[in-house]
Structure formats: C-alpha cells, structure tokens
Amino acid sequence: MPLDTSTTYPLTKLRLDGRRWNELRLLQAQISTNPASSGSSYLCMGNTAIMCSVHGPAEGKRGDGSAGGAAGSAEAIVEVDVNIAGFAGVDRKRRVGGSDRQSSRIATTLRAAFQSHLHTYLYPHSTISIHVSVLSSDGSLLAAAINACTLALVDAGIPMPGLLCGCTAGMSGSASTPRDPNEDSLDPLLDLSLPEEQELPFLTVGTTTAVPVGEMALDEADAEEEEMKVSMLNMDSKVHCTYIETMLAVGIDGCKQIREVLDGVIKGR
Amino acid sequence: MSARQASSASQTPHLSPAELSYIYTSLSLPNTPIRPDGRSSTQFRPLTAETDILPGTNGSARIGFADGTQAIVGVKAEVEKTVVAADALDLRSISRQAQGESLARESSEEKESGGAGEDGTATGQGSWVQMSIEIPGFRDDDALPVFLAEMMREPLVGSVSGGSGKGEDGEMAGGLKGRLVINRRWHWRLYIDVLLLSQPLSYPLPLLSLTTHLALLSTKLPKLKSQGEEDPFFDDDWAAAEYLYPRTRTTINTPKPPSQNVRPPITLLILSAGENIIFDPSREEIAVADSVLAVSITRDSESDGLKLLSIRTVDPPSRLTQPGVANSDNVAPLGSTGAAEEASLQHPSVGGEEEMAGVWRPRRGGVKRGVIARIVKMVLKKGGVGEEVLEGLEGVEVG
C-alpha cells in the first residue's frame, strides 16, 4: 500500500484522513430513535455507525434453564447481543452460523463493562438486554459501541454513576522498541480508523466520572474538576510497555471530549 | 413449543379464548369488519421511510412502522466469475463430435443436468441473489428467518419482466437475473442483508418486503467500461453509476418524478376471517385468522397494470390457540362433580363440530376458493390495494 500512516505521518504530521494526532472524527449521535424499545440510540464516529436498543429492566426470559439466571439473582443481569451487519465492511462478509469472533468479543467486553458500571442492585431478579447493530464499521468499533450503549441506557433511564465513554488511542509506528526520551519520533494518535487499526498498535479505554460523595460533594469548587476513572481497558496488539502511559493519557483525553459531546446529546433532548 | 411457534406466523400473543373470539367476531362481521386498531380492511399502518442511508452499501433503505418496529436493508454487490466457463461447453461439443451419434444422447442428458449453469451464461441464475435476514432473538438458521428470506427472494428472482429486449430506456431484459449478467464469464452477485431492529411485534413480512423494495430501487452498480467478453472494468466515478433497476431518463423541468417501468416485486400479507379480507394484519388479528396469505405482485411492464407473481399460505398461529369452553360444558358453575359428569355426557366432546357464538374454536386453516379470487382481484384491480402501495412507495424519493 503506497499510503499508510507509518510512512506518510512522519513527513506530514497528518494522518490518512487528514486529521492531526489529537483530533477525533466527527461524532454525531441521537437518542430515542426506536420507540419500540425502552431506550435506543444511533451513534456515528466518522464512518462507523451503530444502532443500539435497550430492553428492560424486565423479567428474564423463562425457560432459560441456567441456574445462575436472572430469576434468582440479587441484581439485574446485563445481556449484550452484538450483530455486525453483513454490509458493514468494505467487502460483504460471509458468516457461517450465528456469530463471529469479533462480535462475540465486543459483546463480552460490553457485558463486563456495563454489568459493573450500572446500578444493577436496584433491579433484582431482572434482565437488561442490550442489542447493538453495527451498520457500518470503520475502526474503533468497541469504543463506538460503548458510547452508543451508554446513550441508550441513559435513554432507558437506567441509573448509573456517570457516563461511560470509550475511545481508542494508538501510536504512529510499530513502537516495539523501548522509548528513547531524547528522540521522540513516534506520536500518539487519537480515535483510530480502520486502516490505522489494521497497521498500528492501539488500545481502547473506557472512562467514567466518579460521583463526588461525602465531603467532596459539598466542595463547590471541586465540582468543576471531575475526577475520571478508567473502568475498562482493552488491547489486542503488541506494544512496548514504555508507550502505554502516553497512549492511555491520550485515550483518556479523548474520552473527556467524547463525554462533552454525549452530554450535549442528552441535554439537547 | 418454541420450535412450533417459530415456524408459525408469529408468536401467539397471550390472549384469552374470550378475547380471541371477540376479535374474530368483529373481524368477520359481514362486509364491515371492525379491526382492533380502527383501520379499514385495506388500510396499512402508517410508516416512515428513507433510502440511501448507508454510504458503504450499493443501496440501502430504512422503514419504521408507527408501532416502533424498524428494518434496515443493505444491498451489496460483488463481481464474481461465472462457474460454468466457456471451455466446459467447448469440451462437450468436441466430445460429441468425436464420439459420434451413439453417445450424443448421453451427452445431451449431461447437458440437461448442467442446464442451470448453461442457462446462467445467457440469462443469469437465481442463486446469484442471496438474502439473509437478521431478527433479534433468532439464529439466522432458524425456521422463521430462512422461510421469510426464501419467500421474498423467490418472487424477486422469478419475476422476468420487460422481456422485449429492445434495449429501450428503462427496460430490463431477463428481469433481475438478466441484469446481473456482465458477460459470459462474469456476473454480479447480490447480497441483500435485512436487519430487523426490534423484536417482531407482528409478522414482519410486509415491513421487510417494503424495505427490500426500496433498498433495491436505490441500488446502484458501477458503470461498466469494458466491452463484450473482456474482463470487467468499471468506471470509478460513483456519480456515473447506474441503477440496478433502470429508470427512464427525464428532463429536469418535467414536474413528475422519474417513473420506473421495472420495479422489484412486493409481498403483501393478507388474512381472511370468515368472508372478510384484511390487509396488513397486526399480531392480534393474525392470532385469529382463518388463513394468512403472502401475495407477491409487481408492475407489469407490458400493460400498465399489475402482475401476480406468487401466493403462499403462511401457517397461522390461530391453530395453536387454546379453545374456549362453553358455559354448558363448564365444570365450575355446576358445583357437584356428578352434575359435571352428566354435562360432559350430554355434550360429549369439547371440540364439537358446531360453532357456538362467543366460544373460541381454534381455526383449522383452509380458505374458500371464492375468497382467494376476491383477494387477487382486490390486489390487482386498477386503483386497488397493490397499486396504492406501489404508488405510496413511488412517492418515497430514491437516490
């Protein structure tokens, strides 16, 4: 491929789609898109488009059989179902039987993230089921899915301590050797698109704001400076450990920007 | 139980026999059916539609019914090599020449067995259109999605319209299959992916069919630059791409939107209750139907009217409903068990032949010939339901 980030970026300091290292793609979102569900959202980050709908909290499906089902539990069970449409990618993907590896990985990560994030103890013996459809995939799928789910869950009115926002961050090169503090040739990159994801190491980070409690809550001055908490971190590629800190910092900063956008979407209603 | 339900028209809603009987009685009132949602018998539910929503597909559409069920359809096209290559045909003719007349019969049999492929080089194959339906809560090899997909794919590939082959503006020789042929060695393969975004509240067939119709209308294929039997080579300007279903070119100042002679078929869901015919039934109505029919129609390009492509019966869930118990058979009010036994002797079987007013009997299916004839007439006649639906869809701005 004549044009890839690792060759052109050092020369131009511009990425394939013309962004600088710290720029997000255009993020647009809507909530309450589907009146047939408890809560729903549509979110697109660049060319990644996701629809998400939430049903519940409701009584779990009967005849599930499993002993650890929603019926006997003291808190709500979060179920996530991810479906990547056949037309989502550049080439039409053939799937054999049910689901593929990528969608089940995203589903597992989402389930783990939201099971611990939501105030599930308020809804014993019930199920919150989240259905995510990926309409068009162009990188940062997991991050976009987290943001879409957060919006849909807010729309459904399910209590949570703060918005859970996801973002990807990567490095502009393979970053397999220890970092040289004197000569920093590699830049961190924010919000990777699909071609960047395929060639560069990246991680997905999800953060939430800690709700001020006790003395902190009374302190008016500190209310502006909300504290961010990393609640999810996922990385599939290989990178030297000296770069992790940079990537995390950039990713968390991206989450902050995304939070503002999502906040605007929710308050715009 | 779940397997049984999945194969029938939709999951039976939880209605009591008394409610079922009430709905059935009001639907089968002679000539003036009263529907639970107050629609007239030919009225459709209101819907919103948009096309070209996904830039990554060749064509896409979204339709949402007012009750919140939504479907998104994306169409993708790929260039593929036609399997039966020209050299296979050559070999066959060579062998026929070499081995003489005695073996000719055998080779002609062989030719027939491979007939589909051979036709493919000229007219296209139905298998080039693939359809998959994704319904939340169902695996994609469950009976319902597979049956629905086949029910919609069949009229799509089966409809051969505008076969005059004059190459006129807006003509499509050989139907959809013919349109997919690039040349003898190459063809387009069409993937139609249907996503139902919510649990099916009623039998989703009309929703999916209308959405697929719009998506196919907005589907564009890149303009072919190569000629004849060359390897296909396309114009990379998407603005020059041609619609899969060709349109008549109209000048900009004509007030009417560009009309299309050839349009993909649509499938309507129709139920009969007594003598009445009801279009676009809701879930409760399906639960009491005598029979449910899926009727596929398309515009006939030769005449100005409509053409019937197929009629299928759909297994109505009404046969799985619980029967009502007549008051005279009921044990509870009679008090003593002795009286109950006596009563059951007097009225031997609950599933008796005679209909009792207000007591629900599960429908056993079957539809009168006259009713089918009336359905076909209502759909196809000028100004009938089929025309109304197609005109409504033509009102949606495509592309």
Give the pLDDT mean for B285-299. 87
Most confident of B174-178, B207-211, B312-316: B207-211
Neighboring chain B residues of A92 at a CB cutoff of 8 Å: 76, 78, 191, 193
Distance from CA of B76 to the nearest CA of A (A): 6
Neighboring chain A residues of B198 at a CB cutoff of 8 Å: 34, 36-37, 53
Domain membership flag for residue B275: yes
- Of the candidates A125, A112, A117, A111, the one whose C-alpha atom is nearest the C-alpha of residue A154 is A117
Q: Which residue has the higher pLDDT, B369 or B327?
A: B369
Give me the helices (H) in chain A, please.
5-12, 101-117, 141-155, 194-199, 215-218, 220-224, 244-267
Give the pLDDT mean for A130-153. 93
First to last CA, chain A: 44
- Predicted complex: ipTM over 0.90: no
Instruction: Tell me whether the omega of the peptide bond preceding residue B136 falls within 30 degrees of 0, making it cis.
Output: no
pLDDT at A101 over 80: yes
CB-CB under 8 Å, A83 with B198 = no
Give the pLDDT mean for A127-148. 92
Q: Is B191 on the interface with A (CB under 8 A)?
A: yes
Which residue in the set A51, A87, A131 is minimally distant from B57, CB to CB?
Answer: A87
Residues 6+ apart with CB under 8 A from B180: B124, B128, B129, B187, B188, B189, B190
Distance from CA of A34 to the nearest CA of B (A): 6
Domain membership flag for residue B137: yes
Give the pLDDT mean for B364-393. 86
Tens-digit pLDDT profile for residues A220-243: 555 455 677 898 999 988 888 889
Give the pLDDT mean for B134-160. 82
CB-CB under 8 Å, A37 with B67 = no
Q: How far apart are CA A128 and CA B290, in angstroms?
A: 37
Q: How far apart are CA A73 and CA A60, in angstroms?
A: 11
Token readout for B6 is 């999945």
Candidates B70, B132, B141, B201, partner chain A, best to mutate (most A CBs within 10 A): B70
Choice among A140-144, B41-45, B320-324 with the minimum mean pLDDT: B320-324
CATH 3.30.230.70, domain A28-267, yes or no: yes
Q: Is B142 on the interface with A (CB under 8 A)?
A: no
The contact set of A with B (CB < 8 A) is 34-37, 47, 49, 51, 53, 55, 63, 81, 83, 85-92, 95, 97-98, 131, 133, 135-136
| Size of chain A, expressed as the number of residues it contains | 269
Residues of chain B with pLDDT > 70: what percent? Answer: 71
Q: How far apart are CA B212 and CA B71, in angstroms?
A: 9
- Of the candidates A87, A10, A1, the one whose C-alpha atom is nearest the C-alpha of residue B75 is A87
pLDDT-based confidence at residue A254 (cuts at 50, 70, 90) = very high
Which residue in the set A34, A89, A136 is minimally distant from B68, CB to CB?
Answer: A34
Q: What number of CA atoms fall less than 13 Å from residue A243's CA on the CB side?
A: 28
- CATH label of the domain that carries residue B224: 3.30.230.70
How many CB atoms are located within 10 Å of the residue A169 CB? 29
Query: Residue B276 sits in which domain range?
Result: 2-324+360-394
Q: SS3 for B98?
A: helix
CB distance A177 to A240 below 8 Å: yes
Most confident of A177-186, A247-256, B336-345, B356-365: A247-256
CB-CB under 8 Å, A89 with B193 = no
pLDDT-based confidence at residue B1 (cuts at 50, 70, 90) = very low
CB-CB under 8 Å, A83 with B76 = no
Tens-digit pLDDT profile for residues B2-11: 433 444 444 5
Q: Give the residue on A whose Cα is nearest the Cα of B57.
A: A87
CB distance B181 to B157 below 8 Å: no
pLDDT-based confidence at residue A141 (cuts at 50, 70, 90) = very high
pLDDT at B387 over 70: yes
- Of the candidates B384, B383, B380, the one whose C-alpha atom is nearest the C-alpha of residue B306 is B380
Predicted pLDDT at B30: 84
CB-CB under 8 Å, A86 with B191 = yes
Domain membership flag for residue B331: no
Number of folded domains in chain B?
A: 1
Predicted pLDDT at A152: 95
Tens-digit pLDDT profile for residues A172-225: 888 888 887 777 778 899 999 998 888 889 999 999 986 655 555 555 555 455
Choice among A114-123, A154-163, B100-109, B253-262 with the minimum mean pLDDT: B100-109
- Of the candidates B258, B223, B241, B247, the one whose C-alpha atom is nearest the C-alpha of residue B55 is B241
Q: How far apart are CA A85 and CA B148, in angstroms?
A: 18
Domain membership flag for residue B329: no
How do the domains of chain A map onto residue ranges? Answer: 28-267
**Cβ density class B145-166: b for 16+ within 10 Å, e for less:** bbbbbebbbbbbbbbebbeeee
Q: Tell me, what DSSP letter sits at residue B253?
A: T
Q: SS3 for A167?
A: strand
Q: Tell me, what DSSP letter sits at residue A45?
A: E
Predicted pLDDT at B334: 55
Q: How far apart are CA A21 and CA B338, in angstroms?
A: 88
Distance from CA of A30 to the nearest CA of B (A): 15
Q: Is B2 exposed, middle or buried (0-12, 13-18, 19+ CB in 10 A)?
A: exposed
Domain membership flag for residue B354: no
B 64-123: CB under 8 A from A: 64, 67-70, 72, 74-76, 78
- Of the candidates B111, B110, B128, the one whose C-alpha atom is nearest the C-alpha of residue B175 is B128
pLDDT at B15 over 60: yes
Domain membership flag for residue B114: yes
Query: C-alpha distances in angstroms, B208 versus A99, A146, B42?
Result: 22, 29, 19
CB distance B20 to B288 below 8 Å: yes
CB-CB under 8 Å, B56 with A87 = yes
Q: Which residue has the higher pLDDT, A264 or B136?
A: A264
pLDDT-based confidence at residue B103 (cuts at 50, 70, 90) = very low
Token readout for B83 is 């399997």
Q: How far apart are CA B9 and CA B11, in angstroms?
A: 7
